[in-house]
Amino acid sequence: MMLGPIDERTPPMTPQLALRVAIVGGVALVLFAVIFFRLWFLQVLSGSRYVAAAQSNVVQHIPVAAPRGEIVDANGIPIAESIRVPSVQIAPRSLPVPVTLTAGGRLPVAIPNGDLSLFDRLSRLLGISTRPHACRYTTYWAANRHTNYKVQLATVPCDVAKSVSQSPFANATIRTNVPTYIQDYIAERTTEFKGVLSQDTYLRRYPLGAAGAQMLGTLSQITPQEINTKPYQGIQSGNLVGQSGLEGQYNWALQGTNGTEGVKVNSQGQFEGYARGRSPIQGDTLKLSLSAPLEQVGQTALQDSIIANHGIGGAFVAMDPQNGQIYAMGSAPSYNPAKVSPTLSAGEWNYLRNPASNYPLVDRAIDGVGPDGSTFKVITATAALQTGVWGLNQIYDDTGAFCFPHAPASQCKHNAGFVHYGPIGLQFAIQDSVDTFFYNLGNLLNYHPIPAYAHPNGGALQQWAAKFGIGRPTGVDLPGEASGSMASPKYFQGLWKLERQCERAVGPYKGHPKHPAVLNVYGNAITSGGCGIADTNLWTAGDNVNAAVGQGDVQVTPMQLAVVYSAIANGGYIVTPHVAQQVQTLNGSVLKQIDPGKKRFLNINPVYLNAIRAGLRQAVTSGTSADTLGSFPQQVYGKTGTAQYFNALNQETDSAWYACYVPASATSKPIVVVVWVQHGGFGDVAAAPVARQILGQWFYGKPGKFQVGANKTL
């Protein structure tokens, strides 16, 4: 059987199949077009952006700290400046065995054994000890988390570990102010000192030494708690920032703008070399109203008085009574700021924290408080005259003792040295600082003889003290200012509350030992035991009498007293003290003028004000400070103060105060000076001589020889 021929013709495509083929082909064409367009977009339109991103993956930008702006006095004399110095640094990534920030190990910065011989050679060359010691450093992780570490390392490897923990690719500064021959020695032996570089760095220099150290403040690395806070916005970990004083208050101006140094690394984070960076921009200049020569004279005179009178510390303030511009201010004991900022040696740290050093970091001009003795009497006189409890023509018969009615003679209060003056008026009482006269005013100014009907804020004396600024900060442009306090019924109640909490170890004393106390039958006074914060909650006329002469619970800072005497000098205006005058660019252009202005006007009767001034002038010409300032060529208006209180050993001791002012003249601006010498004795003996030297420098450019005063009256 034969088969017929096969028909090889393809049957025609059905319409349904043709439609399907068209749809599949169209979809494939669209998909191909999308892929092609995407590739074209990535390669052509976005190519440069991705190239830059790829480069950034291999170039890390290390911050290069900007030099801080200068702090200069009113005449442009540098008080704190950043100077460029030659230094020896180590590039951790270029060491024989690179030092890196590790993860997952026992320590985040491990010092390889292969680098120890290099560190040893470098230490011997630079005269650095190779003995291991406690090395403390902090590593900062994400979200401001950090971990503190303590290991035993020699100085050079410790410096490297600290640097890497802060910034893994940054160079570690090992020694500054390196002699040229050492730099040359290292440069000629690059194979022996692989990873060791000679670079310039910036150091803070303080031409005045210890003068004004507390006012200038300290520098240190920004802490984890400070990162992203308002004062330090945008400043990263590892950067130096101002922590106190002017350095802290005006850090926003002084900080500058960091530069960058490019470091090339591969995908494994290994160092490949350096790339282009950006130079840092120095911070702005802070111009002060300060006089550098006056600052040095004041600090020296204060220290001389402390030594001569066996004091333990003190402070001074000199400023313009018209606008609050501070000419000079200082505190003692002091310290060398160059040894504190930005690093602190073990020896300096031991000195600063030793109680025997009497806390040199404390700025006693704004943060030291104490009873100011008879310098307070200008406030008492103002309150008495303004309220009408005493008149300018009234006479007080001084017998040498002030006694409360119906009180035993043993409770009478006396003048210094038990002297008596007979019939006297207000001006003479200020001139010779007659205590009994002001005891009488304190008694008259007491708000009410029955404590149950007393106003909690006290009477006219407390009200006028508050108007003058006692018990509140002055607003000076420095951090850490104390408020002080004014004795009043409300203040007594606050102390009593703290006393009872301390006794029971509750409130702020929770976790402390208890101090049981035995109370009287009325429950308002302690007969034995307790913490010693307060012995009663009762306010009496005797408390107001003590306050009237700046004793008892009156606590004043030298800056507050300078504001008080500025108001006496300028006619009743309360000024805002300020050290800074301008923020300037590097070329001298003014970016910000600093003038907080006057706060308030006290509206003191000019007749009363002139009477108080007359008493202050007589105190200089023929009264308590006549032997010290009576011969001074300028018209000085001043008041001595001697504050008695008991020390920790329950021994009575005296602290010396002096407050004075000199009005403006044809050749000089006005000036107010306040001096405080703790445990220095009488005001005229220890404090007034310091004021004289300050005035001598201010008016004549020479302080004269320091001489201890001789008038041992209050």
Domain end: 143, 178, 197, which one? 197
Token pair in block for residue 399: 């017998």
Give the burial string for 347-377 (b: 16+ CB within 10 Å, else e). ebeebbeeeeeeebbbbbbbbbbbbbbbbbb
Low-confidence ranges of the chain (pLDDT < 70): 1-13, 17-18, 21-22, 37-64, 103-106, 140-146, 224, 237-238, 261-274, 343-346, 447-458, 646-651, 712-714
Statement to judge: residues 301 and 190 lie in one domain: no
Nearest to 557 by CA among 699, 389, 352, 371: 371
- Given the structure tokens 């100085």, which residue do they identify? 155
Nearest to 166 by CA among 279, 65, 41, 84: 65
Strand-pairing partners, residue 82, are: 204
- Dihedral in degrees, nearest 10, Cα atoms 84, 88, 90, 91: 50
Q: Is 25 part of a structural domain of the chain?
A: no
Q: CB under 8 Å to 410, separation ≥6 — which residues?
A: none
Statement to judge: residues 185 and 312 lie in one domain: no
Q: Which domain holds residue 193?
A: 98-197
Q: Is 258 part of a structural domain of the chain?
A: no
Domain end: 197, 223, 246, which one? 197
Statement to judge: residues 565 and 692 lie in one domain: yes
Q: Over the chain, what is the mean pLDDT?
A: 86
Statement to judge: residues 187 and 300 lie in one domain: no
Q: Is 225 part of a structural domain of the chain?
A: no
Domain end: 159, 180, 197, which one? 197
| Residue 486 near residue 464 (C-beta atoms within 8 A) | no
Task: Return the CATH number at 666.
Answer: 3.40.710.10
Q: Is 478 part of a structural domain of the chain?
A: no
Q: Is 509 part of a structural domain of the chain?
A: no
Question: What's the pLDDT at 102?
Answer: 73
Q: Is 493 part of a structural domain of the chain?
A: no
Q: Is 462 part of a structural domain of the chain?
A: no
Q: Is 595 part of a structural domain of the chain?
A: yes
Residue type for 638, please?
G
pTM: 0.83
Domain count within the chain: 2
